[in-house]
A and B are shown apart, each in its own frame.
Chain A
Amino acid sequence: MAAAAASTYKDRQFLAVIGDEDSVTGLLLAGIGHVTDPPDAQRNFLVVDAKTENSEVERAFKSFTEERKDIAVVLINQHIAERIRHSVDTFTEPFPAVLEIPSKDHPYDPEKDSVLKRVRRLFGE
């Protein structure tokens, strides 16, 4: 198990983010933004607003978690994770780590976090 994991995380050096404009702007200011070399020039962030379709969020989540092998941590605003809750809950691989983060307008609610839910279930709470 440990040996298998070693090969899967070695090349993972970026963070990715799916969030509202402010969260993405802030995290990009921290310097996590990365665009891969052309021609495909993929961004590692997605700004979600009221007009963004759930399918697009879903697609970005899939791309960050399954297709790209260079991402170590996926940050996603909790209220956006709610929109694709099923995908977030069913993603149980250790890599990349999926982290639900609060946004300016939506404070963090531990009740909805899929990992914390798992923690609580394990301890039968």
Chain B
Amino acid sequence: MEGLFFNVNGGYVEGIVRGYRNSLLTGQNYSNLTQCESIDDVKLQLGPSYGDFLATLPPNPSTSALAGKMTDKLVSEFRYLIAQSTGSTAKFLEYLTYGYMIDNIALLITGTLHERDTRELLERCHPLGWFETLPVLCVATNIEELYNSVLIETPLAPYFKGSLSHQDLDELNIEIVRNTLYKNYLEDFFNFVNTHPDFAGSPTQDVMSEILQFEADRRSINITLNSFGTELSKQERRKLYPEFGKLYPEGSLMLSRAEDVEGVALAVSAVADYKAFFDAVGLSQGGSGMGGMGGGPADGKSLEDLFYQKEMDMSKLVFTRQFTPAVVYGWMKLKEQEIRNVTWISECIAQNQKERIGNFISVF
């Protein structure tokens, strides 16, 4: 039934995205890329899918310049999509940009705290996290002003409300601010895809719920693992866990009490996927603890690699569903991974570390 009216508003966007998806690099492309001897070769190999965007790069560009141009293409394609969409689809696409907005705002808060020239900061902001009032943030000279007059005007205002006051911004570590915002964002997004009349009971609700649950769990696990050995207390840590997901509530509670890697492994063991990840990287065997990560597991995959792999699998599966803007989400994640992959490969080539070059995730 949902297919009956979707195409009236969302059909064009979905069609375009499916086209974009076909230009993603394939396993064959990647194996060509890994044979390259220089960044210029890489540039040449990327020609068919990136075309004009790489034309302005100087000969043998730096990897960051290359990644920048690739991101430009993603941005311009996404902007086209958002311009073509209306109604709930447009709202959905907006949600996709909030993650970048959070990073941009964290960046600007850091700059304002240290009284840096915020104009220079704007150049470092991610273009997808750009919103109209972003440059206004530069007007603020202190945190209180930033909070009272500027942040209120941003789409992220609800995420600050009730969780962070301007005193918090002054004192708290920016990472806590960032993760609090992200938690609120994920919860809001999850709520949006589950309750919006256009999405409730649609494929969008199905796939996005699963994806967002995974994202929430991944953040909780990462935050827990990365908090060991830092001054972040268990209470503070718990406040950063999104309150949904496969781990919520029992797993989250166990995570909040975990003291070490084994504790985390135990907390996630109820979910088969995560248990498999921990088993694969040997974290649940105990003994080695965080030190074991330094050496890395035998096949060179870290826990984060496995999470990325899972994310890619889910993003790829989105394309098996029809009549949903979730394909945009899937395409964006795939594209971002592609940029990371190419950056990694170029970095290996530029730094002459070819033995690790295969450590990327090829999806198609």
Contacts and interface: CB of A to CB of B under 8 A. Distances in A.
Interface of A: 104-105
Interface of B: 62, 350-351
Nearest to B352: A107
A77 to B, nearest CB: 14
Contacts of A104: 350-351
A105 B350 CA distance: 7
4 contacts: A104-B350, A104-B351, A105-B62, A105-B350
Contacts of B62: 105
A104 B351 CA distance: 7
A104 B350 CA distance: 8
Contacts of A105: 62, 350
A105 B62 CA distance: 7
A113 B62 CA distance: 24
Contacts of B351: 104
A46 to B, nearest CB: 14
Nearest to B60: A105
A50 to B, nearest CB: 10
A104 B347 CA distance: 9
A105 B58 CA distance: 14
A2 B342 CA distance: 54
B81 to A, nearest CB: 32
A104 B63 CA distance: 10
Contacts of B350: 104-105
Nearest to B351: A104
Nearest to B115: A41
A25 to B, nearest CB: 12
A64 to B, nearest CB: 21
B65 to A, nearest CB: 11
Nearest to A20: B62
A104 B62 CA distance: 10
